[in-house]
Structure 1
C-alpha cells in the first residue's frame, strides 16, 4: 500500500511520541527494579546507548546497581546530584520469554531513578529516543489493568495506514512483567477473547522477568507478590525506514482517579483520550456531556484548542493521545506540591514544563527558590485552574507551590524538529509547605512534662525542634492525625500575641542561634468564643481531645501545659 507524504509524516509524528511514565503520590524510594525494552528493530545499524539516571534527594547518598544478583556498580551522590549508569546492548529485551536481565537499584537514602534509551546516526542524533520514570518498589502492587491498544487502530485513528511489510514481531505491543521480590511469583494473565474471559498462570523466579506479546485482548494482570509491568513497542516501521520505541510503566489499580484536567499541548491539532477501567460500564463526560468512544475505544474532546476538565463515573486511568504525544493524565486527586524536572538531554530544542495551578494562587508557583515570572497563564474554562508553559535551560530542576497542589508535565522536542514528546513530572511531595519542596515530612510530638509557654519553647528548641505551628489547614490536619489523642487537657503551640501590638503571630525558634521567620496569622482554628481578650491570655494552646477537634484557645503564658514539639521537614535544595 502506498502512502502519501503527508500521511507518512503523520505516522512518523505519532511514532516519535513517548508513551508516558507512571503517576504516583511520590516517585522516590530506596529500592527499584526495571528492564530495558527493545529500542528500534534489532536489524537497524544505529549506534545505541541505554542507561539509568540516579538523582539523590539527600546528601552522602550511596546507591548500588544489580543484575541477576550480581553487583554492577556502586556510587555515591550529594543532594541534587545525578549519576549515570550505562548498560551494553545485551540488556535490551529482544525476545519473548523469560529473562534474567532485570536491573535492581538500591540505596541507603531516597533517590529518583530515570531510565533512557537512545539510537542515533551521524545525521540523526536522536533517531529513537525514550525516557521514563522508574517507579520504586513501594509503588508496585499485585493488580494491574492493561490498556486495550490495537496497533492498527491506533495508526488509523490519526489518518495513517498500517504498513504491509509489518512482521508479526512488530504488529502488537509487548508486555514485560518483572518479579519485584526475592521469591517465586505466580502471575495470572487475564484475557477477554470474543466475550470469554480466559486466564493463564505463569511462574517467574525471583527478580527475573518474562516478555509477552500483548494484543488488545489482554486486559488484566494479577500476581501473588509485587511485580513491575511495562507496556512497550520496539519499532513501528514506516516507508522511510523510521520508527521509534514506546514504553510505559503501568501503575497498579489503586492509582486511578475520577476527575482530570486534560492539558492542551501547544502545537497539537488533534487529540484523543484512551480510558482504562476495570468496569466496562464506566463513562467519561465533559461539561456534563458524555463522550462517546469510537469502535477502537478512543474518545474525542469537543475542543482541541484548550485544556479541558473531564470526569469519569468510576475510577479510571486516562491517556491523552495526539500526533507526537502519548501522555498519561494526572488525576486531580494526585496533584502534588513539588515536582522534580529531569530532562533527557541538552541537545538542540526546547525544554518546557506545562503547569496547571489554581487561578487564585498561580502567581505563587516557584522554580527552585524563586517565583515564576513572565509566565502567560490561560484560564481553563469552568474550573478553578489556569495553565502556563515555563521554559527551562537546566537539565535538572524542581518546581513547587507553597500553599496548593499543582499538576506539572515535562515537554521536550527532538533536535531542531517540531516533534514533541512529554510525560508527567516526577512528584516529590504531596503536601504543600510554605518554605520549600519537602523530601522528609515534619513530625509532631507531645511531650510529657507540663511547662509554661516560654519553657515549652526552650524545651523544643533544645531538641532541635520548635513549638508546633499549624499555619495552614493541612498542617492542622497533619497535627491531628499524628498526635491522635483523646486526652482531656491542653498543650502549647507556637502562637502568641505581640506585647507591643497584641496581634497574634507564629514564633518558630529552631535553635538558640537560628530561627525560621515569625509570620502573620492567615489560618486559625479557634474554639467557640476564642480567643479571649489580651488580659486573659497572650499565648495559644490546643485541645488534645479529638472530640474537641483539637481547637485552639488563648491562655496565660505562665500556665503549665504540655508542649507540642515539631521537627521541621527536610527540604530539597540543589
Structure 2
C-alpha cells in the first residue's frame, strides 16, 4: 500500500507572480484521524520582508499584535484544536492577518500518533488577498480515481467522512458574498447558490462533479482531504489553495523530481475543447482526466491550446506546475523544520545562465544540471540543510520547487515567489528607483552626490534598465543629465562607474548595451563622460560630454533585498 502513503502525504503550494502582501485570510482544514490520540498544533508562520514590520492576527473576536519584526524574521502564531474546520456548514473560524508592511504567510498543522509512530502533517502557502478572485476552477479529484490510477485496482471502502474531498470557501471581504457552485451531474450542469457573511466560511462535500466556483466578491478557496487512511493506521492530508483563473498559462516546464518513477498530469480549463501537447503530440486523457507524459525520468515542456492550470500528480507528489509566464526572480523556501527530513530545491533556469543561480548571498555550485529537450531551460537539484532560505537569479526568471522527504511523508510544491523582476543586487523586496536631481554639478560631483543619497549614478547596462528609467522619469526638458558612463583615460573604452553607499567601488559592468543618439559617441576630445537627454521625445538618448560641465545627476537608489532569514517571536491563541 505504499502508493496510498505517498498520495496521502502531499501538500500543494499555490503559485503566482508574488505571494507577499499586507492582508491575508485563511483557515485550518481538519487534520484528524480517529486513531490519532495526540494533537501537536496548528501554526501560521509570518515572515517580514522589511525592518520594523508589525502585524495583527484576528481569530474568533480575539486579536494578537506582533511588533517590530526585522527583515527576514519569521514569527510563529499557534492556534488551539478548536480552530480546525470539522463540520460541513458555516463557520466563523477564519483567520485574518493584516500588516503595515509586506509579509509572507505559511500554514502548518500536525497531529501525532505518538513517538516514532507517525504523524499527519499538512502545510501550504497562504495567498494574500490581492491574489484572490471571484472565479475559480475546481480540480476534479476523487480518492478512488487517484488510488486506482497508480495501483490498477479500486481503493479501499472508507467512511463517507474520510473517503471524499472537501471544499472550504472563505469570504475575504467585509461584506455579504453571494456564492454559486457549478456541478456536472450526468452531463448536465447544475447550480447551487448560497450567501456567506463578512469573513465567514462555508465547507461542503467535494467530488469530481464540482468544477467551478463563482462569487460576487473575493473569496479564498481551499480543496482538502481531511485524513487519508494508509498502511499501518497512518494518516495524512492533501491540501490545495486554489488560485483564480487569471493565474493560468499556456506553456509549462513540468518538473522531474528525483525518486519519482510514475506521474500524471491533470489539466483544468474553462474551455472543454482545450488540449495539451508534448513534442507536438496531443496528450489523451484517461476517463478520470489524467494525462500521461512520454518520459518519467526528465523534466519536460508541454503547451496548451488555451489558458489552463496544470497539476502534476505522482505516487509521491501533487504539485501545481508553474506556468512559464509566472516564472519569477527570487523565491522563499520554508520547510517544516520541526521534523527531520531531506530537504531539496528543484530549479528550472535558462541553460545559458544557470551558473548564476544564487542561494541567499552565494552562487550555487556543484549542482548537476540537465538540459530540457526542445527548450532554453535546464533543471537542477540543490540539496539544503536550512529550514528557511531563498533562491534567486540576477538576470533571468526561474522556477523553484521544494521537496521534503521524511520517514513517513513526502511533501513538495512551488516555492514562494517574492519578486518577478531579476536584479543583480539579490532577492528584491523594494525595487530600485531612478530620480533626476534638481542640483547641477559636474560629473565627479554628481557621482559623490548620488552616493550621499545611498545610491549611485544611473548605470543603464541593458535595455530593461533603459526602459525602467523611461517609465519612471517623466520629463520633457531640453537639457541633458549625467549618467554613470565614462571613458577610460588609459584605453579610451567606455565603462560604467558606480559606488556602493559606503563609497566602496563596485565592479565596473562591461558596456554590452548602448543607446547613443545619432552621430554619437563623439571622439574623446569632445568628452570623456556621458549624459542623456531629459526630453522624452528624444527617447532619453545618450551623448558624450565634457566631465567638467554642470548637469543634473540621474541617481539610482538600489533595491532593498533580503539578506538573512531567522525564526523569532511566538504568539499563542490560547
TM-score by length of 2: 0.92
Structure 1: 5+ residue runs without aligned partners?
A: 1-7
For residues 356 and 117 of structure 2, what CA distance do their matches in structure 1 show? 38
Q: 1:118, 1:126 within 8 Å by CA — same for their partners in 2?
A: no
Q: 1:283 aligns with which of 267, 275, 284?
A: 275
* 1:143-154 alignment, distance < 5 Å: 143-154=135-146
Q: 2:420 aligns with which of 418, 430, 437?
A: 430
For residues 161 and 123 of structure 1, what CA distance do their matches in structure 2 show? 33
For residues 231 and 495 of structure 2, what CA distance do their matches in structure 1 show? 69
For residues 173 and 247 of structure 1, what CA distance do their matches in structure 2 show? 9
2:571 maps to none
Q: 1:463 aligns with which of 450, 453, 457?
A: 453
For residues 246 and 15 of structure 1, what CA distance do their matches in structure 2 show? 6
Greater relative contact order (Cα 8 A, min sep 6): structure 1 or 2?
Answer: 2
For residues 454 and 176 of structure 1, what CA distance do their matches in structure 2 show? 61
CA deviation string 1:506-542 (max 9, x = no partner): 2224548455444332333334443222222322223
Structure 1 residues 192 and 555: CA distance shift in structure 2, 3 A? farther
2:15 maps to 23
Q: 1:14 aligns with which of 1, 4, 7?
A: 7
Q: 2:290 aligns with which of 280, 289, 298?
A: 298
1:190 maps to 182
For residues 66 and 153 of structure 2, what CA distance do their matches in structure 1 show? 47
Q: Does 1:206 align with 2:198?
A: yes
Structure 1 residues 124 and 524: CA distance shift in structure 2, 3 A? farther
Deviates more, 1:553-562 or 1:307-316: 553-562
> Counterpart of 1:405 in 2: which secondary structure?
coil
Q: 2:244 aligns with which of 228, 241, 252?
A: 252
* 1:533-544 alignment, distance < 5 Å: 533-544=523-534
Q: 2:331, 2:417 within 8 Å by CA — same for their partners in 1?
A: yes
**How far off its partner does 1:42 sit?**
5.0
> Counterpart of 2:37 in 1: which secondary structure?
coil
> Counterpart of 1:535 in 2: which secondary structure?
helix
Q: Does 1:550 align with 2:540?
A: yes
2:309 maps to 317
**How far off its partner does 1:94 sit?**
1.0
Over the residues paired in the alignment, what is the CA RMSD in angstroms? Answer: 2.2
For residues 504 and 572 of structure 1, what CA distance do their matches in structure 2 show? 32
**How far off its partner does 1:477 sit?**
2.3
> Counterpart of 2:229 in 1: which secondary structure?
coil
Structure 1 residues 312 and 130: CA distance shift in structure 2, 3 A? same
Structure 1 residues 292 and 486: CA distance shift in structure 2, 3 A? farther
* 1:42-191 alignment, distance < 5 Å: 44-124=36-116, 126-159=118-151, 161-191=153-183
Q: Does 1:376 align with 2:356?
A: no
Equivalenced residues, count: 564
Structure 1 residues 529 and 314: CA distance shift in structure 2, 3 A? farther
> Counterpart of 2:490 in 1: which secondary structure?
coil
* 1:262-411 alignment, distance < 5 Å: 262-345=254-337, 347-411=339-403
Q: 2:45, 2:107 within 8 Å by CA — same for their partners in 1?
A: yes
1:506 maps to 496
CA deviation string 1:103-161 (max 9, x = no partner): 11222222211100112222446521111111111211222221122222222111254
TM-score by length of 1: 0.92
Structure 1 residues 390 and 510: CA distance shift in structure 2, 3 A? closer
For residues 219 and 414 of structure 1, what CA distance do their matches in structure 2 show? 33
For residues 313 and 114 of structure 2, what CA distance do their matches in structure 1 show? 31
**How far off its partner does 1:200 sit?**
2.7
For residues 152 and 547 of structure 1, what CA distance do their matches in structure 2 show? 64
Structure 1 residues 132 and 200: CA distance shift in structure 2, 3 A? same
Deviates more, 1:460-469 or 1:380-389: 460-469
CA deviation string 1:467-501 (max 9, x = no partner): 22222332222222222556665433221222333
For residues 126 and 81 of structure 1, what CA distance do their matches in structure 2 show? 30
1:228 maps to 220
**How far off its partner does 1:73 sit?**
4.8
CA deviation string 1:333-368 (max 9, x = no partner): 111111111111253331111111111111111111
Structure 1 residues 234 and 511: CA distance shift in structure 2, 3 A? closer
> Counterpart of 1:501 in 2: which secondary structure?
coil
1:519 maps to 509
Structure 1 residues 306 and 515: CA distance shift in structure 2, 3 A? same
> Counterpart of 1:170 in 2: which secondary structure?
coil
**How far off its partner does 1:443 sit?**
1.4
Q: 1:439 aligns with which of 404, 409, 429?
A: 429
For residues 356 and 548 of structure 1, what CA distance do their matches in structure 2 show? 39
For residues 183 and 517 of structure 2, what CA distance do their matches in structure 1 show? 57
For residues 372 and 355 of structure 1, what CA distance do their matches in structure 2 show? 11
Q: 1:17, 1:323 within 8 Å by CA — same for their partners in 2?
A: no
**How far off its partner does 1:204 sit?**
1.4
For residues 527 and 451 of structure 1, what CA distance do their matches in structure 2 show? 23
**How far off its partner does 1:311 sit?**
0.7
For residues 32 and 290 of structure 1, what CA distance do their matches in structure 2 show? 39
For residues 556 and 299 of structure 2, what CA distance do their matches in structure 1 show? 41
For residues 59 and 141 of structure 2, what CA distance do their matches in structure 1 show? 31
1:564 maps to 554
Deviates more, 1:301-310 or 1:222-231: 222-231
Q: 1:66, 1:73 within 8 Å by CA — same for their partners in 2?
A: no
Structure 2: 5+ residue runs without aligned partners?
A: 565-574
For residues 490 and 164 of structure 1, what CA distance do their matches in structure 2 show? 76
